[in-house]
Amino acid sequence: MIRVGHGFDAHRLVEGRRLVLGGVAIPFEKGTLGHSDADVLAHALSDAMLGAAALGDLGGRFPDSDPKWKDADSMLLLERCAREVHDAGFILVNVDATIVLQRPRLAPHIERMRRNVAQRLGVTIDHISVKAKTSEEMGYTGDGTGIAAYAVALVETTR
Ligand code: MG
């Protein structure tokens, strides 16, 4: 049986924070605000993975009220979610993600994000798609207020 999961995440962009997407630190004058490292791509992917297995969500596992997850490496959290999904009897087929932001241009960093995600999810890079889009200067992703990410994950049962 195959199953699909969906994930969404958004974070504010502010000065004095790092911009980390898919575990890649991207040079920019602003970064994402959050309790963890606020890696929107990792968060959307985590929720997509968990969603495919109907295992709840990232926030339920690593609440932002818990000091333990302050400045947490979200790629590590993604890896833990993936392990949980695997232990529940699923293998990953593929993921596809879209990051929505106006600036900076992400094209030079996409390949490294895909490689990082593939490594954490235990698959080869050809199973991982990451795309970046602007929202044509509309809304919070368009005026530089924030970044959003969407992801879907397809898994199949191992038993
Ligand atoms: Mg988040």
Q: 33: which residues sit within 8 A by CB, 6+ positions away?
A: 11, 12, 13, 14, 17
Cα 73 to ligand 1 centre (Å): 12
Cα 10 to ligand 1 centre (Å): 6
Cα 86 to ligand 1 centre (Å): 22
Can you give the pLDDT of all 159 residues of the chain as single tens digits?
Answer: 999 999 999 999 999 999 999 999 999 999 999 999 999 999 999 999 999 999 999 989 888 888 888 888 999 999 999 999 999 999 999 999 999 999 999 999 999 999 999 999 999 999 999 999 999 999 999 999 999 999 999 999 986
Helix axes 110-121, 40-52, angle to 10 degrees: 40
Q: Yes or no: say if 117 and 130 are a contact pair by the CB < 8 Å rule.
A: yes
Cα 117 to ligand 1 centre (Å): 16
Q: Yes or no: say if 100 and 21 are a contact pair by the CB < 8 Å rule.
A: no
- 3-state DSSP assignment of residue 106: coil
Q: Which residue matches tokens 């509309």?
A: 138
Cα 19 to ligand 1 centre (Å): 13
> Structure tokens of 100?
């929505």
Alpha helices in 9-109 (DSSP H): 40-52, 58-61, 74-87
Cα 36 to ligand 1 centre (Å): 8
User: Which residues have beta carbons under 5 A from ligand 1 (an ion)?
Assistant: 9, 43
Cα 54 to ligand 1 centre (Å): 19
Cα 56 to ligand 1 centre (Å): 15
Q: Yes or no: say if 93 and 2 are a contact pair by the CB < 8 Å rule.
A: yes
Would the pTM count as exceeding 0.85? yes
> Structure tokens of 6?
């969906």
